[in-house]
Every structure is written in C-alpha cells, then in structure tokens.
Structure 1
C-alpha cells in the first residue's frame, strides 16, 4: 500500500509538471519556492506522503457528493452547522491539493462552492438562533463565521490565478468584502477584543485582505477598528467606543496582551490550542507577504514560545491539563497543534525535540513547514521532547501570577503536579486561586473538573455551554482549593476577579529530592490571606514521590474553610468514623454547593486523618494533620442537576469551622498496585506513620514526616521571606535549624 501511494503521487506530479504550474503563484501560504521543494520530494518523505494521501482520500470522497450550501438554521451539531463546517474544511484541503498536485478538479470544486456562497450571501440575514452576543450569518455565532473565512481565504488564495478577473471581482464584491466587513465593522464587540474569538475574527479579515491585496482590511485586522470604522449603531450603550481608553485591539494586540512572555495564554491551554490555528495561519501568511513585520520575532518570538508552553501543559499521554474552561481529552494530536509544532520547528530554531512530538502526532501540515519536519524526521534528527518542571507566567508582562508544573519520574511512573495561581483568565476563567491537580502518568488522581459542556452535541444545549458551567464548574468549591464561608473567590464576580491575580512566592527545581512551589492570594476573600506551598518529595521512606501540601490561612474574622480533594477512584479504607444518611441532602444552597450530595460526614480523629482509595489498580492515601474538632465530608457531584449535565465524581472535603487562622497539612501518597489477573495487591497500606506540625508561627511553619522504621523528614518554610539568599535560624524543641533560602528539608 505504501509503495502504491508513493507511485501514485509521483505519477500525478510528473504528469502534471508544466501543465498547471503556471497557475500556482506566490500569493499563498506556500510560496512558489516552497511548492517546488515539496514537489521535488514527493514519494521520498513517508510522513509527508502519508499526510498528503490521507487528505487526498478525504477530499476525493467528499467531492463525489453534490456541493450543498443550505440555508443556515441549526446550532452546533445540527445539519446546517456541520454541513458548512464540512464545506470550508474540504475547500481548504482541496486548495492545498491543487497547489501541490495541480489537478484542476480541485480548483473547479472550490470555485463552484465559492460561487454558490456568493449567490446566497448578500441576502442572508442574521442566523435565526439568538444565542450569541455576536450572531453570525452562516453560523449561530460570528466565531464560526470567522472559522469559515479563515479556511475559505486559503481556498480562494489557492485558486486566485485560476479564476478569471470577472470571477474574482464577483466573489470579492458579493462575498468576501461584505463578509469581512460584517465580521469587523458589523461586529465591533466581537472584533475589538483581547480574546480567542477576536483572534479568529482578526485572522479571517486579515487573511482575506492579503489575498484580495486590500491593505485597509489587512491593517484593520492587524490594529483593530478605529473610531472612524465603528458606526453609531454599533457603539456601546453610552455611545462610546467598545474599547476602554488606552486599550489595544487587533491581531498584534492579541499577541501582545493574551500571551505572557513565557508563552502562556491567559485563557488556558484548551483555548490556547484553539487559538493557535488562526495565530499560526495568519502569521505564516504575514511572514510571506508582510515580512517587514517580523511576526515570528514579534514580542520576543512569543508565538514560538507559546508552542513550547502548550506542549508543557500536557500530561504523560499528551492530553492538555483542563485549566479554566476546558474539555478533557483534548490533546497535542489536534490539528491546530500539528500546525503549531511544524511552524515552531520551521520558523524557530529547528529544535529536534519538536520532531519527536510530530512523530507522535503522526502527520504534518501540508506546506513547507510540514515538509521540513517530515524530512528531518526521515533523516533521523528527532530527539525526545523532555518535559521538566516549569514555571509559566501569566499576563502581558508576565507579572500576573502563573502556572507551575512539577514533574518527577520514578521507575515507570511519571508524576505531574499542576499548580494554578494565575489571573482570572478572561471570560473562560474559573474562581480557583491556588488550585492544584495531580497526575500519575496520564491518569487524573486529583482532578480539575474542566467545563460543563458537550461540544457539538446538539441535544445537549446545541453543543454550547450549559448553565451548570456557571453554577458549578466555575465555582471555587468545584476546585481543589479553599472556599471560605461557602462563597466563591471574589464572590463569583467576574469584574472583581478580573482586577486581581495571585502572586508566586517562590519556586525551586534545583534539588533531586524535592521540587517546590509556593504562591499567595490576598484578594479572593477581603481580609483573608491564602498561602499555599506544594512540594514533590522523593525519599527512600516513600515508595513513590509524594505531594506535601501546606495551606496557611490568615483571617481577620472567624470563618468556615473547606478544602476539597476531587479524587478519582474507589474508597478502600479510612481511619475515621463517619455516618451515611438514609436520604441524600445537598451540601449547600449556592456557589456550587447546591450541586454536591452529602454522602457521609465524620469527625477527624486525634492525630492524623487517613483516606485511602484505589484508581486503575493503583493505591493512594491522603494523610492530613487535622484537629480533633475538624470535620470530614464525603460528597458527590450531581445534586440540582435534573438533566444529568454533570459527571457524578466524588470528593473528600476537610472542613474547619469558627476560626480566623487555619493550617491544612496534607500528604498525597501514591503507593502499591493491584493485579486483577493474579488477584494480588502489593503495598496497599500507606508508608507514612505520622505527619506532625512542629512549628507554626507568623514567620515559619515546620512539618515533621515519620515514615516506616521511624525515619523522619523535617520541612521548614519561611512564611515571610522568599529570597533565595535570606538566612534563617530557628529553634524547635531545643534543636537549632539554620539554612539559606525560603525553605529547608532535613532527613533524619
């Protein structure tokens, strides 16, 4: 089969040489030199050949059917929505095939489709579904209309010279120009934002502007709408501009404002993955046609850095950590990431580590970047892409908190701890300051919920966000962080949350036996300071690396503090007594608590509280140093959910009542395994004998961990001085401890 594909491609290429190449110009994202390079290597580079063949088979199959351009009426997942999506995707791919193979059937297909759209577009009203703040015409929201134009601008570009001048004039007058004006001038609230929606809109208008050689459209895309572009009836309620004074807009502003210098995208990795497609596609067009902008060097090369940030925000299976609004299971196999990785290699430093990512993806983009990647892989240049512990800053200047990923490998296990202390994350952000999640390989041991949405599944609210996304998924109690008095951070108010961000206290990845990060949040609850320190500890007294979690709370008044752990798996054992009700009751009345069923309640025993469970034939124990009057709640998501929109995931909650200051000390310990074949378990018991607070004052917190055979670890944290050069000395039970830096760890 492989040989037949190569022979087929070579035959097509050789037979078409000279026949159609005069119609392939420098106007596309693959310039003439790139086309010649691709054609000269057809049949010699297996990964590129296979990627091309896959697209060819897909397009050829679709072209057997009649072109259908139905009157829009459906939401996401419905027939008209999916039909128009299929149209633009097929047209874009057909354009690539025409450029590379030169077969006129692809150009004719694109031309016929565009003529049909040009025929209906002038009379199209707004989409009948009144669901979006910016309704589209072909789709229910302007975002999807922008998806269409990004793809169709590439299709149009590929056949630009194939078309007659009259055909081009007709398409531009009746379709492309009014389409671009609708997305921009007609939708300033959509177009003039710092948001993934606007990035798509900016790229769509800019890319069609480049094909049409319309500088006004290109500049509108790059720099946003100005006052003279915005009609009176499209201004805000006060008659003013949509933008605040001094605020930027346009494609370049979205690069400047949405990315931190480290490449982290403020909306989170799920939407970063989605936005990387328009960022990279428009960037490649600009690099070819507006090289003076230096788009891949813009903001110190942040588009390339963004690819590395995105790859580092994946678990061992390549799935993105579901920070903020996010669908679980989205991975680096997504086509947007394929394009981004290839572009980062080609326009960056030709990092051989990216080649191993491309190998894992199993396909490349069908352009000069994809060919460069495929050729380098064929030449054996690929090296492992190593994901190590990393700090990613948030905010345009990198001064609005961030995300830290701690990683550790032990035998065949890869452990990843994700600590989130970012800014709000725009409209897709959650109220989850100082939240964390923990992964063993690709398994979510302590999970983040993600969003409440069934993307493109029409029976579930048309594929859009469910109301439970606001009432549950965004709320603080839905995350592994502190909730005070059953109220969400910033009282769940977006405008308030948008003003603030957490501050990193310090991080340290320099030692073999510990990796640690610490951050502070002082605005989530006025009058309360939250300070969380998380460490991955590796020591012989543990079978595998463990998570040490120190959560200090300083309050001005007495409060109730809840600290949940959303564990995956089945309870095995506890060392505390609990009561289970005959009838389930809701844990609370609002702020997400109304979505939790109380399944059991208990009181923490004196000493340590232990909670042991099993997940995917591995054992885990959560050990906490709680006070004897603290309570434990075992709950499950699903209350106040008559349409079953939420998953029925379990949660363990430690609660402290009527206290100003509080200290939660927890150790999450992976240990042991079970074989369903041999029906034998090993190391199913915790290896921690005791964890004890040996010091807790304003300046310092000291923790002692006792393992098997009385081996001990002491961890002391400076709560007020994070400098790596600061010297400390403290006496605990007549023993002097001296060190330099924000913490020390001693093994006895």
Structure 2
C-alpha cells in the first residue's frame, strides 16, 4: 500500500499495483517449482523482457523505491501526466509527406517518443492501459508500413518511409524498440509474429540492406541506423540483426572509400557498423570529430545501444571497448560547454543546445551507472532536474537522495581529435569560475559537418559570447526555413574561413574550400600548458591550409594580478613564400564604444568581395589612419571589452557586418572588426583581448570602461622565438616569449633582447 499512497494514483491503478505487490509476495513464498522457475527466468534469463534499457530486476528495484526518490518520482509524475494526455487525445497516424517541421514529420516524431515513454510506464506502474496504447499504435504502424512507399520528398541521399530521410526512420526504430521490449510479454505470440514479420524486420532491412549508402559508413547517421537495427534485433532475439548492427553489411558491394553526397565515408577502410563508428570518429580522449553539437546528437544511440548491449549481451563488455571511450566521451562533451551548459558551436552546431537536452540526461545517467559513479555527474543530473526512467536513472536518483553529489569539475583541457588522437584537437583554457573561457580549434575536418577554420577561436565571459563562432546556418525543424534543413548559406557562409576568427589568405578558404583536400589534413599541436593558473597557453601549427604558407598561432590566457583582469594574448605568425593579402576578423557582439584610430563610414552598404563567404559581408566602415597600436572597444550585455592589436601604417581595419547577398534573411546580422594586410609574405599578428569593466543601467555608473593596455610591442620575431611586451596604463610591463620551433618542456633557452638576457626551461617565458 506504500507505493499506492505515495503515487496518489486513481483507484484502478492503485488496485493494479496492490494486486501486483500481493502477487510478488505470494510468488516469493511459493514453493511450487514451476513458479520458481518462471520467476528465475523472468529475472535472470537474457531473453527475458524487458532487457534493453529497463531490466526485469531493474523494474523490481524501481517499484521498491517509488515514493522515496524525489528526482525519479518527479520525472515519473511528469511523464505520466504527458502520456495520459496523449492517450486521451487518441492515436494520430498521418500519411508521411512533410520535411522537418511539417505536421506529418513532427507527429511521427512525437509518436516514437510517446511509445517509448508509454512502454516504460507500463513496466513501472503495471497499468495495462499503457501496454494497450503501445500495442494499438504499433498495430496501426504495422498496417501502414506494409504498403507504405518511399517518402515523397526527394532531397535526401537516403529517403525514409515514415520520414524524408532514413536518419529519422532510424530514430523511430531506436525508440520503438524500447517500447516493444516493454510490452513484449503483454503481446500474444501471434501478435509478436505479426509485428516482427510485417513491421520490424522489414523496417530494419529497409534502413540497412536497402540503403547501404546510409547504413554502411562512418557518420552519426549510420550510428543511429546501427543502433536501430541492433536494438530491435536484441528484442527479437535475432542475432543476424545484432551482428549487422555491430559490423555493418559485409556484402554491400560498395567502393571502400566512396563518398556519399552528405560527406561521410561509406564502408571506410572496409569497416562499418556500430563498432567502426566507435573506433573511427572518437579520439582516445572521447572527442567526437564532428564536434559537440553532433556528438550530443550521436550520444543517445551510442549510449542507449551501449546500455542495451551491456544488459542483453554483457559478455561483449561494450563499455570497455577502446579503453572505455563511450564513458570518456561524456566527460569530454560536458567539458565542451560554457558556464551555463551550452555547447560550443564548433563545426555545424546550433547555439543554445545544452547539457539539459534529453540526450545528455541519458548520457549522464548511463555513464554514472556503468562507470565509476563519479559524484560530479550527480551535480549535472541535479541541474538537469530529471532522470531516465530505468535502472540508470534509479542509480542517479539514489545517489542524489544520499547526497553524494559533488561539483562537476570543468577544467582547462586539451582534447585530441582522430581515432588515434593524432589529428589535431580542441583546447579549452578556463580561468577559475569561468570568468574567461577560450576555445581554440586546431582539429581535423570533422567529416561532412566540418568547417574550414583551422586555428580558429571563440571567447566566453562566463555565459556570454565575447567573440563568437557563427555555428551553422540552419533553423532546425522550422519548416518555413528550408524545411528545417540546412540552408545554402551553410556552405556559402558558415563553413567558409572568413566566417571564423582565423586567418584567410587571398580571399580563399582553407584548402580552397574542398572537402576532399581538407579531409586529408589536420593542424598539429605545438604545445599546451595549463599547469600554471597565472598563464595558460596553447599553440598549434597549420601547414596545409594554404600551400606555401605556414601558420603558427599561440594563444595565452593570462591571469596575472599585476596586469589587472584576465585577458587573452593572441600571436599569429605566418611564413609564406609569396606575397599575399591577409584578413583576420574578430566577430564581436554589441555596441561600438571607441577607437584610437580614425575611420570613414560607408554612405551606402557595399559588399566586401564576391566569393568564399566575403560576398555575405557588408563593408560599414574603413580606417583612415592607424598607428603602431590600434585599439577598439565595445560594450555587450553591460560589459566592456577591448581589442588592442599591433598594426602597420599600411594595414586596414574594416568594420563589416554579415547579411549581404542574403535575400531571404537566413543569416544573422552580426558585426566584425577585420584586420587586412596586403602585399606581404612573412608577417605577424599580435593582439590582446580584454574584458575589463561593466555598466549598471540602474545606477547609471560605468566601471573600468577603458582598456587597461597602454602598449603592445613586438620585441623580437625570428624563426625560433617571438617576444611580446605588454604594458598596462599603470606602467606594469610583462614579457611573453614563445618558442616557435623547439617546444619541448625540457628544452633550455637562452636569449638576449635589447641588452637583456632571458633564460628559461620549457615552451614559453612569462615574467
């Protein structure tokens, strides 16, 4: 009766649970051998149901704890309210016809989520109305699918049936497999045969053997397909489907290195399937080469199928595969977020996607349960304020109930890219409390979702973007904007080099904007140092983006109290065998405050250039005369920022704004300040970026509204060393010297500059 009282259910539900509790008690005491055998099989047999995400033992444990585990009880109550409303509204089964954001697309997407949740409610609450609802909807899908043609929308390289692409069909099967597992024993053998013969097996075959260009490759799309086929195979006890999920289609008759038109590799190096998708895109650090936005998207099938395999086939030890890379990946993904939990929009990434997404709820719960029960994950789960309604969610709920949580430790970290960790990476430098966070990208191409932005960076002031990465050009699931799909401006703008805070040479994107070329190369880490909180440094090289030109970018996050608030020192060194035009933009937000140089404002908005992303930039103003130090200050979210940069008399400073050649207003109208240097071979760009004050609209007082940098000076720039002097308005001077060639931590350096000797061991000098 305790469960009934705590859940405050209706009398019919309460009676059902009461009968169940009495029945469990009866069978636990019954000496009848057949009943004992049935109970043992229900609990221990790998073919018992549920066995994917919920397990038979897990259901027992959850029922025993209901009413005493607040976060689980809260999640359960919310899901029950949601699904009860869905049941009351009836079953909706439109004929598929729409792109993302259209009614048929969104309804079938809603259906698979509802089916999964209803199946879970049936198991936890033992109320047959949920099982009947799942059964009735599945039977309607069975009736529809038998005669369902390929989806009428033709944009996708692999069209689905319920949805416009096989990717979404795979989403459906991943969720519906869980629902089917939950009501498996509720159905008769004939009903199971009907569903498996007419719906589930044909569905699995369609997204795999009938669409190998979708299924047999290394890409997040294929991960969803692999998980879908494998999970339904586990429910159906069909080992052929499980093997197909793990290893791909072996007789796909595809060129081993052929590309599909979405940019992934089909059957790359003869590998395919779930294990290949674990092996290839993940680095040993758990970084996913497509970037955090798509890592978040892929985390659900990776971890939910991983959980299913761990529960149904524990002998595979899937969570130990590749040195436990799946569990490592969750920590990496959490590190790839800002102070409020929004993921950094590297590559194709939509801003605002955060650690509170359902994919991260499952990821955190599964990692806590199957990992080492890291107390830091509990604090993330607490902030998410919900858990999975399964064995892993119960583990998290019990951990929180017992007050085991500790803060999740976000640190400065260098995450390698590439399956062996040798294809560049992403470095994150953080001050304490994340007052400033620098995200430095020197990674591999990132498959089809990669951008041409070697040695780019973005900067955050706690939760605010200071200097932004644009992210993707897409309005996800908003039908009015290109059917909710990628817009053409994603290629003409968002992927292009000039759209990022990095160097463009001769108005041409890195690798000439060619995917084939970019996929062959990656930047190389020169050094990374985060041991000293006073100064943290990352330095990386790029020698292939522009043949004949070598780029070395060194960025330091300096928190020296003598110099005031923390700031960024940015040193970009270029060696080239030809004279070039260089463009280095800084995409800021907010209102221009002041400059120390004169500029002329454009009387009409002219387009900056004609191609490679430049055609999307308006020229709003241009400098007239500049000195050795050019300074620009702006205000955003009532905070003050400044950029101080070393300039030459012939340099130009451009004020630009995104939005040219964009008749459908697909792009945001964000501003930038852009350094342009012409007719130059070897050169050096040196800048300091500060966050130095704030404004109160209540008191109308401005605090520290002016830059604290008095002078930025290049003391030395040779092949081996670059030395910079930073002087504040209080006449405090610090010298930073970076080793451009020998970056060994053990290397001993001796250097004389203007009569002063500098001696140090390691990669850099700062004093």
Same fold (TM over 0.5): yes
**Structure 1 segment 514-553 matched on structure 2, within 5 A:** 514-553=535-574
Structure 1 unmatched ranges of 5 or more: none
Structure 2 unmatched ranges of 5 or more: 28-38, 43-47
1:467 paired residue number: 488
Q: Does 1:112 align with 2:133?
A: no
TM-score by length of 1: 0.96
Q: 2:629 aligns with which of 597, 605, 608?
A: 608
Deviations 1:313-359 (A, max 9, x none): 00001000000001100000000000000111110001100000000
Q: Note if contact 1:604-1:632 (Cα within 8 Å) is conserved in structure 2.
A: no
1:250 paired residue number: 273
Question: C-alpha separation between the residues in 2 aligned to 1:609 and 1:654?
Answer: 10
In 2 relative to 1, CA 166–456 (structure 1 residues): closer, same or farther, beyond 3 Å? Answer: same
Deviations 1:636-677 (A, max 9, x none): 000000000000000010111100011000000111110000
Question: C-alpha separation between the residues in 2 aligned to 1:78 and 1:422?
Answer: 36
1:164 paired residue number: 188
Q: Note if contact 2:52-2:307 (Cα within 8 Å) is conserved in structure 1.
A: no
TM-score by length of 2: 0.94
Q: Does 1:128 align with 2:152?
A: yes
2:756 paired residue number: 735
Q: Note if contact 2:737-2:766 (Cα within 8 Å) is conserved in structure 1.
A: yes
1:575 paired residue number: 596
Q: Secondary structure at the match of 2:431?
A: strand
In 2 relative to 1, CA 236–728 (structure 1 residues): closer, same or farther, beyond 3 Å? Answer: closer
Root-mean-square deviation (CA, aligned residues, Å) is: 1.9
Q: Does 1:17 align with 2:17?
A: no
In 2 relative to 1, CA 677–719 (structure 1 residues): closer, same or farther, beyond 3 Å? Answer: same
Comparing 115-124 and 332-341, the one that deviates more? 115-124
Question: C-alpha separation between the residues in 1 aligned to 2:163 and 2:101?
Answer: 11
Q: Does 1:717 align with 2:721?
A: no
1:86 paired residue number: 110
> Matched residue pairs, number?
737
Q: Secondary structure at the match of 1:744?
A: strand
Q: 2:427 aligns with which of 377, 400, 404?
A: 404
Question: C-alpha separation between the residues in 2 aligned to 1:651 and 1:557?
Answer: 27
Q: Secondary structure at the match of 2:603?
A: coil
Q: 2:52 aligns with which of 12, 22, 28?
A: 28
2:32 paired residue number: none
In 2 relative to 1, CA 231–216 (structure 1 residues): closer, same or farther, beyond 3 Å? Answer: farther
- Give the C-alpha shift of residue 17 in structure 1: 2.8
Q: Note if contact 2:563-2:732 (Cα within 8 Å) is conserved in structure 1.
A: no
2:361 paired residue number: 338
**Structure 1 segment 626-645 matched on structure 2, within 5 A:** 626-645=647-666
Q: Secondary structure at the match of 2:409?
A: coil
Comparing 197-206 and 120-129, the one that deviates more? 120-129
Q: Note if contact 1:134-1:142 (Cα within 8 Å) is conserved in structure 2.
A: yes
2:503 paired residue number: 482
Question: C-alpha separation between the residues in 2 aligned to 1:543 and 1:674?
Answer: 18
Q: Secondary structure at the match of 2:563?
A: coil
Question: C-alpha separation between the residues in 1 aligned to 2:171 and 2:50?
Answer: 24
1:561 paired residue number: 582
Deviations 1:48-96 (A, max 9, x none): 0001111111000000012121110011111100110111110000011
2:33 paired residue number: none
Q: Secondary structure at the match of 1:36?
A: helix
Q: Secondary structure at the match of 1:80?
A: helix
Q: 1:275 aligns with which of 298, 301, 307?
A: 298
Question: C-alpha separation between the residues in 1 aligned to 2:250 and 2:221?
Answer: 18
Question: C-alpha separation between the residues in 1 aligned to 2:238 and 2:186?
Answer: 19
Q: 1:371 aligns with which of 388, 391, 394?
A: 394
Q: 1:60 aligns with which of 81, 84, 96?
A: 84
Question: C-alpha separation between the residues in 2 aligned to 1:716 and 1:177?
Answer: 64
Question: C-alpha separation between the residues in 1 aligned to 2:94 and 2:558?
Answer: 59
In 2 relative to 1, CA 656–181 (structure 1 residues): closer, same or farther, beyond 3 Å? Answer: same
